Amino acid sequence: MRFAIRLLPENEPFRIPFNHQHYLQGLIYRRIQRMDPDLSLSLHNPKVPKLFTYSLFMAEKRELAGNKSGLLGYGHGFFYFSTAVPEIAEAFLGGLLQKPEVELWGERFTMETIKALYEPEKLNGRKLVTLSPIAVTTKRVQFGKPRTYDLGPGEPEFYEHIRENLIEKYVAMTGKVPESGELEVEVILAKPKRLEVKPGIYQRAWHLVFRARGDEGLLRVGYLAGFGEKNSIGFGMVKVDGRRPRVKKTWNGGGGDRERKNA
């Protein structure tokens, strides 16, 4: 289940700080808590996959801010949200529709539309592009102590950890192991990104263009819930390269909705 969320800014231009995923995370959890407190509580369990992800915040037009602390956005702001769990989508979107006024990093917006998007019928062999960078970590001993180490696409562990993570999510979603569990990732383009996820805590992640082959069920999990780790704090969302999103339903901030065939 994938959605495009379009926001009308109170002021223009509006700021978009480089490190902004935790603001979107807070918005998502607040709206879920508003509609379903029990679900919100369960999503704070660190031992289970959250099974949702979201893109970076974008603007119709943008430019680098004069102080280079972020971007200046013009027109509408927007981001994408995806989940493999209908209850999560229902709670988050219901919370947005009930309270469309949104404040992020001191900027005020009004939720204008939510568009439910069609999903591709097949993902095996398709070229994928990240909408938020992919994070993969492991533990390595440094100075005699195990420390978190951020893996990159130049290391074989990077791909094995992605595969194992997708299997874990698949089991959480379906209660069974995938048919083959096979996954092959061919990286076409890679760009590192270092983001502050909490004050003083940084994550190195990767914007990728890649071709994925293997178990269709695993690829579907990656498409819906994110590739790699830390999806619920804004990592690992992908789209099919060159594919224009097709809209199947639209809700507006006034509470109306309508069916759509294309957009």
**Residue 29 catalytic?**
yes
Picking from 159, 119, 120, the residue whose alpha carbon sits closest to that of residue 138 is: 159
Of 20, 23, 44, 76, which is the active-site residue? 44
* First-to-final CA distance of the chain: 17
Q: What share of the chain is helix, strand, coil (3-state, %, to 5)?
A: 25, 45, 30
d(CA 25, CA 79): 12
Write out the two tokens for 181. Answer: 């569990």
Longest CA pairwise span in the chain (Å): 60
Of the listed 20, 22, 29, 161, which one is catalytic? Answer: 29
Distance of alpha carbon 88 from alpha carbon 150, whole angstroms:
29
30 Cβ neighbours under 8 A, 6+ residues apart? 95
Dihedral sign (CA 54, 58, 64, 68)? negative
Q: Which two tokens stand for residue 258?
A: 């309508």
202 counts as catalytic: no
* CB-CB contact of 250 with 115 (8 Å): yes
Cα distance between residue 18 and residue 58, in whole Å: 11
Catalytic residues, which ones? Answer: 29, 44
